[in-house]
Amino acid sequence: MTNAITPDIQPVASRPRKGAFGKLLRRPLALVGLALIAIVVLGAALAPYLTNFRPDEQIFDGLTLSGEPLPPNGTFWLGTDLLGRDLLTRILYGARTSLFIGIVANGIALVIGTLIGVIAGYYRGWIGSVLMRFTDLMMAFPALLLAICLAAVFQPSLWIVALVIALVNWVQTARVMYTQTSSLAEREFIDAERTIGAGSARILFLHILPHLVPTIIVWGTLGISTTVLLEATLSYLGIGVQPPTPSWGNIIFENQTYFQAAPWLVFFPGAAILALALAFNFVGDALRDILDPTQRGRS
Amino acid sequence: MMKSYLASTVAAAVLALGLSSASAQVAADPAAKQGGSITITYKDDVATLDPAIGYDWQNWSMIKSLFDGLMDYEPGTTNLVPDLAESYDISEDGQTFTFKLRKGVKFHNGREMTAEDVKYSIDRVVNPETQSPGQGFFASIKGYDEAAEGKAEGVSGITVVDPHTIKFELTRPDATFLHVMAINFSHVVPKEEVEKHGADFGKNPVGTGAFKLGEWTLGQRVVFERNPDYWNKGLPHLDSITFEIGQEPIVALLRLQNGEIDIPGDGIPPAKFQEVMNDPEQKARVVEGGQLHTGYLTMNVNIPPFDNVKVRQAVNMAINKERIVQLINNRAVPANQPLPFSMPGYDKDYKGYPYDVAKAKELLAEAGLDGGIETDLYVMNTDPNPRIAQGIQQDLAAIGIRANIQALAQANVIAAGGEKEGAPMIWSGGMAWIADFPDPSNFYGPILGCGGAVPGGWNWSWYCNADLDKKAQEADSIVDPARAEERNKMWGEIYVKIMEDAPWAPIFSEQRFTLKSTRMGGADNLYVDPVHIPVNYDHVYVNDVQ
Amino acid sequence: MISYLGRRLIQSVLILLGVSLITFALLYLLPADPVRQIAGRSATPATVESIRRQLGLDQPFLVQYGRYLLSLLQGDLGRSYIQRSEVSQLIVARLPPTLLLMAGAIVFELVIGLTMGLIAAVRRGTRTDQSLMVVSFVGVSAPQFVVGLLLLYAFAVKLGWFPIGGYGTFSHLVLPSLTVAVMSSGWYARMMRSSMIDVLRQDYIRTARAKGLGRTAVLLRHALPNAILPIIAMIGIDIGILMGGIVVVESVFGWPGIGQLVWQAIQRVDIPIIMGVTLVSALAIVLGNLLADIIAPLIDPRIKLR
């Protein structure tokens, strides 16, 4: 089965891409994940058609006479918030912001972090040193201050939030990728590849990167939750979406202290974030299994 | 020539407050029990306990308990009474104030206080090296300018006549001067302790107050201990007070419900308000009182379309104040004028602008702006202010004004407001004016007067009416307490005129709700003291001691 | 090793310099005026200008930065604008609680996270694995404020097992550490699982089993040490971040850590405190990563210190 000289790896590049999606659909968890993602995306895109309310509509009957929000009921399926706005509507519209942050911003941070970490870990030497010290610097960087400064200079927009998140969130990914790549780069099979004359790029992409896929998936999927919540803090500081624009993160953030009096305000957006992150995780895990170099020929 | 008023009207007023004798006029409550300790929590750290510097919510009345000034207020009220001063004389022209000091008042370090100390303390605040936020309050004293610029050693207008008599000469009659003698910045400090600790005096305060500093564990707690040699015998009632800091208001409430603390210093958090008020047992322990506070929407008269008075008036009529108050669980009272209703000088008969959306739209049309306006509404980002801003935003949208909300950190909003064309509209919540002392003039100068309409100033509407400034000066030169009604009326007229120009849309005055533990005793107004905020530490007591 | 440490030391100093310059520049560019915060709302323009001059805040950027660096080199972090106390004194007072919380959090994170990850990896594909995975995600997606209050409410208020916030004894440490750990253990669990799965597939594991070693022995002696490499990197990161304080947890539990100090300093634009804390936490980050880099080769001898 496995050759004693080149034990673990077989070239990834050859064939399996075509069958991958098909294989994906055959795994139940992956299906669930894909379905969830589809629901969220569709919900975000079709939001105006799905509810009767607008996300910023403060409805007089949405609050009790003493100003309390209403729990889920016949009119407001997920309840109302502190300004009498329908929570379901806000979650649907908020999906747009959160999808953008969770996928795009998080994705960019992931790519940057992986690139820097892998290059630093593989080349070591002074490139590795410079890159890692730069990573240290960015880890110590006062991101909060940057956010406050940007808030004063620029009009708040989601792009600035995405920028700050990408700027800030890549560092941890880089550190972990660096450590793993350092270890991988020293493994025997890499040496073997080098002795047969494989160039660095080939080694990086064909041999090292695939082994990092599991870590990438872990970091990418957990990062969705973290960045969505981080967006709330950044918007609070004034650089992201401004009220009354909803996002899952800022709905939670605004209503944190009310979680006892009005738990639905924290529970539902929280569940949405959880669902999205889990969905990507299911899909990612399944993809990982399919693309796994060591699993070739076993599924 | 100094003519004393004691024989005439001032004496009458003074006696009416029962103050001429040397015994404790701010008398101890006969029902009070002596002894016991209480715990109070705050979220923010206590920055300093130096009376020349402290100007925060937490340390304002903490300082009042460690130090004393020449004047103070009757507990729970806004009535001035002499404190360290036994009596005072005001000259006929209202420009010379002479105070006779009590004898036998001791600092916490044992030394007796004299008039030298009073002069030293105020000189210190005016001295630019102290960097005191209260420097400007003494601007009416002769010699202030030279001292404030560092060109003179001490304020020449303050004279020590003898160890127990001190005289203040002013450059103009100042009706607020007695209030200034009551404010923290005038409180008396001992020179030797200040020189011993230098800039660290704020962490090692020594004063003449009812309490002295027992222990200060940075970041965790400050403990006050009863001053056994306090000149006002019978006070304070408590043996010690522990202030715990860094406590989130919701957790503080949980601890109160668990019997661990006595008063949450930051009040009942909005998230728990209904819960507390719906529970009769807890509701009974809530004291409600007015505050010298108004929350208002400022409109920058330099930025179109708010340079048109009709637009500003339209905004005033567009806002449904009842609904906004409902958004904060009715913890406030709608306001129709700049002054809070518990402020002397408040015009009870003034009706203000009614809530009239149709009329508001009409006014906008008259201004030629019925096509709609787009503008920015700045607000501080802590709850509940963004919510209130969104409520206002919706009301404005109903008359065609699209206000984009800019929810920023407090310092950023203040910076924008201080720029001439920085912020078109600001909801003042969280940064709104709370009076330094209970006098109508305090709501004018920095926030509506020309003096505040400068870069970095607090007059965010940049409203500057030279006539009103003159009238304000006139009103403030009416020093004679017998003419207080006349003065209040003048101030009333000033504020009505301001409302006609409508640089502001006053929205509500927040009520204060203080929740106390079962063992706390003392009159209700001590717990919503308008000056010793939030609680008058010197006069409260506990019921569970012998 | 010595030359490596020496090099890293020099690099660390450079990094700290870089951080100080960036932070100072950001604070300089902030539109919020620190002098206005000191002078208060009732100050006249003359007072404001006098304070500005005294604090040297009217000087050009490089002069101000130069002065700051000079005092820094003499060990002087300056005096807080608002509190007037020495910054070093304020920070030192809050270091022990911060260190304690960091230690407590890391212990809980590792215990919970690594156990979950190990079990999930060993039982890969089963219901146990999937439920543990969901639990990790719940932990990561839950806002810390809510988690903290929930824990407080359940274990301190209702059950009375722990005090309601505060600082002082071991029992005060448990809930705040747990709150921090809830989020991080999700990361550790997922990483551990992933790393472990990778390791368990390696040939040397099969070799060890073939040699007759029991499952547990294989797990603990051969698999674990190799799987733990990325975890070491994560711990290094954690040390750095936790040393900067966690405002949310500190404020819920009334924990007198550095997080609250710097958060309030940012609201009041108290530049000396912001600079001081940023430098201290930058130092912690650099040291944390250095530690991780030194330990890595001890675990995987193939990694060389270069």
Contacts with A274 from chain C: Cβ below 8 Å: 137-138, 141
pLDDT of residue B54: 94
Task: List per-residue pLDDT tens for chain C, 306 residues long.
Answer: 788 889 999 999 999 999 999 999 999 988 888 998 999 888 888 889 999 999 999 999 999 999 999 999 999 999 999 999 999 999 999 999 999 999 999 999 999 999 999 999 988 888 899 899 999 999 999 999 999 999 999 999 999 999 998 998 999 999 999 999 999 999 999 999 998 888 888 777 778 778 877 777 777 777 888 788 899 999 999 998 898 889 999 999 999 999 999 999 998 899 999 999 999 999 999 999 999 988 888 887 777 776
Of A151-155, A195-199, C256-260, least confident by mean pLDDT is A195-199
CA distance A194 to A214: 24
CA distance B118 to B100: 11
CA distance B95 to B2: 10
- The strand pair at B504-515 and B332-334 is best described as antiparallel
Residue A63 contacts residue A86 (beta carbons within 8 Å):
no
C84, C87, C146, C158: best to mutate for the B interface, most B CBs within 10 A: C84
pLDDT of residue A62: 86
Closest CA–CA distance from residue B17 to any residue of chain C (Å): 30
What share of chain A has pLDDT > 70, as a percent?
A: 88
pLDDT at A155 over 90: no
In chain B, residues 218-247 whose CB comes closer than 8 Å to chain C: 218-220, 244-247
**E-strand spans in B180-324?**
211-217, 221-226, 240-245, 263-264, 286-290, 295-299
* CA closest to A66 among chain B residues: B329
CA distance C117 to C191: 7
Nearest to B78 by CA among B542, B503, B528: B528
pLDDT of residue B10: 36
Contacts with B244 from chain C: Cβ below 8 Å: 166, 254
Residue B490 contacts residue B471 (beta carbons within 8 Å):
yes
pLDDT of residue B11: 36
* CA closest to A262 among chain B residues: B271
pLDDT at A15 over 80: no
Contacts with A156 from chain B: Cβ below 8 Å: 406
Closest CA–CA distance from residue C286 to any residue of chain A (Å): 6
Contacts with B271 from chain A: Cβ below 8 Å: 257-258, 260-261
Per residue in C272-290, pLDDT tens?
999 999 999 999 999 999 9
In chain B, residues 310-349 whose CB comes closer than 8 Å to chain C: none
User: Do you find a cis peptide bond into A244, omega within 30 degrees of 0?
Assistant: yes
pLDDT at A156 over 90: no
- Say yes or no: A60 contacts chain B, CB-CB below 8 A: yes
Per residue in B296-349, pLDDT tens?
999 999 998 899 999 999 999 999 999 999 999 999 999 999 999 889 889 899
Look at A145 and C286 and tell me if their CB atoms are within 8 Å: no
Please tell me which chains touch A, using 3 or more CB pairs under 8 Å as the contact test: B, C
Contacts with C266 from chain A: Cβ below 8 Å: 144-145, 148
- Say yes or no: C275 contacts chain B, CB-CB below 8 A: no
Nearest neighbour of B328 by CB, restricted to A67, A148, A244: A67
CA distance C12 to A272: 42
Look at B45 and C261 and tell me if their CB atoms are within 8 Å: yes
pLDDT of residue B546: 66
CA distance B44 to B88: 38
Closest CA–CA distance from residue A146 to any residue of chain B (Å): 13
Please tell me which chains touch C, using 3 or more CB pairs under 8 Å as the contact test: A, B
**CA-CA-CA-CA torsion for C129, C131, C135, C140, nearest 10 degrees?**
60
- Residues of B with a Cβ under 8 Å from any A Cβ are 250, 269-272, 274-275, 323, 326-330, 381, 383-384, 386-387, 389-391, 393-394, 404-409, 412, 415
- Give every CB contact of residue C97 below 8 A, 6+ residues apart in sequence: B219, C167, C255, C256, C257
- Say yes or no: C219 contacts chain A, CB-CB below 8 A: no
pLDDT at A297 over 60: no
Task: List per-residue pLDDT tens for chain B, 546 residues long.
Answer: 333 333 333 333 333 333 333 334 566 778 888 999 999 999 999 999 999 999 998 899 999 999 999 999 999 899 999 999 999 999 988 899 999 999 999 999 999 999 999 999 999 999 999 999 999 999 999 999 999 998 999 999 999 999 999 999 999 999 999 999 999 999 999 999 999 999 999 999 999 999 999 999 999 999 999 999 999 988 999 999 999 999 999 999 999 999 999 999 999 999 999 999 999 999 999 999 999 999 999 999 999 889 999 999 999 999 999 999 999 999 999 999 999 988 988 989 999 999 999 999 999 999 988 788 899 999 998 889 999 999 999 999 999 999 999 998 888 899 899 999 999 999 999 888 889 999 999 999 889 999 889 888 899 999 999 999 999 999 999 988 888 899 999 999 999 999 999 999 999 999 999 999 999 999 999 999 999 988 999 999 999 886
Closest CA–CA distance from residue B397 to any residue of chain A (Å): 11
Give helix A87-99 / helix A28-45 axis angle, nearest 10°.
110
- Say yes or no: A180 contacts chain C, CB-CB below 8 A: yes
- Give every CB contact of residue B481 below 8 A, 6+ residues apart in sequence: B9, B10, B13
Query: Between chain B and chain C, how many beta carbons pairs sit less than 8 Å apart?
Result: 146
Residue C35 contacts residue C55 (beta carbons within 8 Å):
yes
Closest CA–CA distance from residue C238 to any residue of chain B (Å): 24
Which of helix, strand or coil describes residue B41? strand
Residue B406 contacts residue A156 (beta carbons within 8 Å):
yes
Q: Which two tokens stand for residue C262?
A: 């710097």
DSSP of A61-123: GGB-TTSPBPPS-SSSTT-B-TTS-BHHHHHHHHHHHHHIIIIIIHHHHHHHHHHHHHHHHHH
Average pLDDT, chain A: 84
- Say yes or no: B248 contacts chain C, CB-CB below 8 A: yes
- Say yes or no: B412 contacts chain C, CB-CB below 8 A: yes
Residue A173 contacts residue A219 (beta carbons within 8 Å):
yes
Residue C79 contacts residue C272 (beta carbons within 8 Å):
yes
Look at C31 and A128 and tell me if their CB atoms are within 8 Å: no
Residue B127 contacts residue B146 (beta carbons within 8 Å):
no
Please list the residues that pair with B408 across neighbouring strands. B380
- Say yes or no: C20 contacts chain A, CB-CB below 8 A: no
- Say yes or no: C23 contacts chain B, CB-CB below 8 A: no
When pLDDT is cut at 50, 70 and 90, the band that residue A17 belongs to is: low
pLDDT of residue A122: 86
What ipTM goes with this model?
Answer: 0.91
Tell me the longest C-alpha to C-alpha distance in chain B.
73
pLDDT of residue C199: 84
Look at A277 and C140 and tell me if their CB atoms are within 8 Å: yes
B165-169 β-sheet, strand order: B85-90, B96-101, B165-169, B158-162
Our measurement of the distance from residue A263's CA atom to the centroid of its chain's CA atoms, rounded to an integer in Å, reads 25
- Say yes or no: A266 contacts chain C, CB-CB below 8 A: yes
Is residue B290 packed enough to be buried (19+ CB in 10 Å), middle (13-18) or exposed (0-12)? middle
